[in-house]
Amino acid sequence: MCGIVGYIGDRKASDVLIKGLKRLEYRGYDSAGVALINGSLEVRKRKGKVDHLSKLIAKEGLSGNMGIGHTRWATHGEPNDVNSHPHVSENGKIAVVHNGIIENYSSLKKQLADRGKTFQSQTDTEVIALLLEEIYNSSFEISFEEAIQLTLKQIVGTYGLAIVHTDSPDKIYIARKGSPLLLGIGENEMFIASDASPIVEFTNKVIYLDDGEMATITRDNYKVKTIDDVVLTKEVHELAIGLEEIEKAGYPHFMLKEIFEQPRSIADCMRGRVVKETNSIQLGGIEDVMDELVNARRIVIAACGTSWHSGLVGEYLFEELAKLPVEVEYASEFRYRDPLIGRGDVLLVISQSGETADTLAAMREAKKRGALVLGICNVVGSTISRDTDAGVFTHAGPEIGVASTKAFTAQVVVLTMMALAVGKHKGILKDDDMRMYINELLMLPSKVEYILEHANEPIKKMASLFTYAPNFLYLGRSYNFPVALEGALKLKEISYIHAEGYPAAEMKHGPIALIDEMMPVVVIAATEHTNDKMISNIEEVKARKGRIIAIMNDANSDVKDISDFHISIPTTKDCFSPLLTVIPLQLLSYYIAVNRGCNVDQPRNLAKSVTVE
Ligand code: G6P
């Protein structure tokens, strides 16, 4: 949520910053701005997309070799030019960009106003610029770095911060608490960013800042300390992603590219882990805690959004394959209760970004209470991947489209592998069971490929018939109930059509009242053990003139005759079915959104990585 970029070196800073902001735009796209120091502080900012800012800079020109930039997802104050970052101190010498939320900003603002300071914006961030200026100017003996430390000690809340000051035109200062920041180390140049995407084309050497840390960066050096002034030696990591992974590769949208990448991302996720030769599942990341997992009293899964839906699939998987009790929680609710979790329990957090604020908070809460905390995460180096006791990466590759697609399927694959591994360890799954599951798992990439090849065009055509539907209902049972939720979420997120997902049997307890000839109902009828029940549900919808779009397979061919539209998918084990049934739903929402002229990759009001609570 919000993107930060910074550069110091020999290149034209505005070019690096604009390019970086475009790569970060998926994190927030309400407004964007940059601040460069070239003799004096030069700030340019604009409401709307990074393109608006880029045009402004092209028109007005902006020279200099160091600066910071920001793309915003508004929290305090509407998206307009003034509320855009960077925010500048009263004397025009300090510029600040900020991700996160300053919780005590109103009291700080009042105190500063009482001392005669004037604010230009409605943001919480401007408080930092003005407070920092006041502290720095209060004594000749305070260095700018010390002034930052003193300022941060007065701040309650979360921040990823980048700061420049005309008094030190060869330095960028950064600090982190709860909002990610990394430093890219080049040859006589340095980059900073809130995730690796702006850095990857320049260098693969990075340092991840941890909470409570700050750094002072020059073109050829960096110094990392804690906010309390303890000097630190940080490990330099190597980025594993390449530039091609964060570009569209000829697809009109990242989302479509990512949907079509799924045969590969699912295979990548299983590579070296689903081992046919040994008839086993090898998950190196959780090997050391396998005994604790196997003997756990229960697993609590905490996540948000799409990751929460994969968690729900995980509940069915662990209960069926590993006979382990599972509860699935919205991370935000888990942390605000007084959760009964402790030693003997496992908290499993699932997050594509590894930075979702509520999920991080749930993780910390469970750790505090003594539970073993495991993570399923896509972004290597993210906070969740570093702060959990152990975990498994999804290896889906960078996901740029705000609406999650390939991360969901990869999360479900990881959950499947974990459940199978635990089931095997517990002796619940015998060698023959494992053989059967492993064979089927390894066939999934080609089954997804088949769906993409055969269903894409029919879905595209069908989507045009539903472009203007005001509402949608999605129904599923068992493993496909979470898929119904996910299908509805996808449509809602990118097309702005109101959509709800329900367990099919719940329809008669409320949603059935909504059904008439205007209501498309997507029915996921592709799990063998619920097929008959789904047919009854379809009949109930039909009796009320609802229009049925069925996702079905040959094991349930009767559905074809009673549906208005159907998409056939290959058969698989019921427990793997979400990995196939979700694909047509992703495509359906994509094409409807495109038909409606929506910005598929950057839907209004949303952000990819939600780092505020
Ligand atoms: C945001 C994104 C969703 C995502 C959710 C959780 O709302 O728009 O696509 O599912 O955050 O994100 P995470 O990175 O924790 O999976």
pLDDT score for 282: 96
Residue 489 φ then ψ, to 5°: -60, -45
Q: Check if 352 has its Cβ closer than 6 Å to any atom of ligand 1.
A: yes
d(CA 213, ligand 1 centre) in Å: 26
Closest listed residue to residue 24, CA positions, set 9, 11, 6, 37: 6
Residue 402, ligand 1, Cβ within 6 A: yes
E strand or H helix that includes residue 29: none
CB of 353 sitting under 6 A from ligand 1:
yes
pLDDT tens sequence across 223-263: 999 999 999 999 999 998 888 888 888 899 999 999 999 99
pLDDT band, very low/low/confident/very high, at 386 (cuts 50, 70, 90): very high
Domain covering 455-600 in this structure, CATH number: 3.40.50.10490
When pLDDT is cut at 50, 70 and 90, the band that residue 511 belongs to is confident
Q: What is the 3-state secondary structure (H, E, C) of 210-269?
A: CCCEEEEEECCEEEEEECCCCEECCCCEECCCCHHHHCCCCCCCHHHHHHHCHHHHHHHH
Quick check: CB of 578 below 6 Å from ligand 1? no
CA nearest to 588, candidates 551, 546, 539: 551
Catalytic residue among 109, 257, 492, 608: 608
Residue 40 backbone dihedrals phi, psi, to 5 degrees: -115, 180
Q: In angstroms, what is the span from residue 188 Cα to ligand 1's centroid?
A: 36
Active site residue 2: yes
The tens digit of pLDDT for each residue in 75-129 reads: 888 889 999 999 999 999 999 999 998 999 999 999 999 999 999 999 999 999 9
Q: Output the 3-class SS for 570-598.
A: CCCCHHHCHHHHHHHHHHHHHHHHHHCCC
DSSP codes of every residue in 484-550:
HHHHHHHHHHHH--EEEEEEGGGGGGTGGGG-STT-EEEEEE--GGGHHHHHHHHHHHHTTTPEEEE
* Nearest protein CA to atom 15 of ligand 1, as residue: 351
- What is the average pLDDT across 448-464? 96
Rounded to whole angstroms, the Cα distance separating 445 from 280 reads 19
- What per-residue confidence (pLDDT) applies to 157? 92
pLDDT of residue 533: 85
Residues in the chain: 613
How far, in Å, CA of 438 to CA of 420, rounded?
9
Q: Give, to the nearest 10 degrees, the angle between helix 125-137 and helix 105-114.
A: 50
Domain residue limits, the chain: 3-245, 251-429, 455-600
Pairing between β-strand 40-47 and β-strand 31-38 as defined by DSSP bridges: antiparallel
Task: Fill in the amino acid letter for 218.
Answer: T
Which pLDDT score, from 0 to 100, does residue 137 have? 96
In the predicted model, is pLDDT for residue 168 greater than 80? yes
Which of 2, 29, 335, 352 has most ligand 1 atoms within 8 Å of CB, for mutation? 352
| Confidence band of 73 (pLDDT split at 50, 70, 90) | confident
Q: What is the pLDDT of residue 366?
A: 96
For residue 199, with 0-12 CB atoms within 10 Å meaning exposed, 13-18 middle and 19 or more buried, which class applies? Answer: buried
Angle, CA of 300, 385 and 199, to the nearest 5°? 145
Q: Structure tokens of 587?
A: 């495509």
Q: Looking at per-residue confidence, does 217 or 555 come out higher?
A: 217
What's the pLDDT tens digit per position in 464-475? Answer: 999 999 999 999
- Residue indicated by tokens 């701005």: 33
Q: Is the Cβ–Cβ distance between 447 and 570 less than 8 Å? A: yes
pLDDT at 410 over 90: yes
Q: Is residue 1 predicted with pLDDT exceeding 80?
A: no
Kindly state if the Cβ of 378 falls inside 6 Å of ligand 1: no
pLDDT digits (tens, 9 = 90+) for 335-372: 888 889 999 999 999 999 999 999 999 999 999 999 99
pLDDT in tens, 556-585: 778 888 999 999 999 999 999 999 999 999
Average pLDDT (450-455) is: 96
The yes-or-no answer on residue 269 being catalytic is no
Domains 3-245 and 251-429 share a fold: no
Instruction: Tell which phi-psi region holds residue 330, choosing left (phi > 0), alpha (psi between -120 and 50) or beta.
Output: beta
Contact 180, 377 (CB under 8 A): no
- 306 alpha carbon – ligand 1 mean position (Å): 6
Strand partners, 548: 521
Contact indicator for 216, 223 with CB cutoff of 8 Å: yes
Between 543 and 5, the more confident residue is 5
**Interval 148-161: pLDDT, tens:** 999 999 999 999 99
Domain spanning 251-429: which superfamily?
Glucose-6-phosphate isomerase like protein; domain 1 (3.40.50.10490)
**Averaged confidence pLDDT in the chain:** 94
Rounded average pLDDT over 270-293: 96
3.20.19.10, 3.60.20.10, 3.40.50.360, 3.40.50.620: which CATH number matches 3-245? 3.60.20.10
| Buried/exposed code over 33-64 (b: 16+ C-beta within 10 A; e: otherwise) | bbbbbbeebbbbbbbebbeebbebbeeeebeb
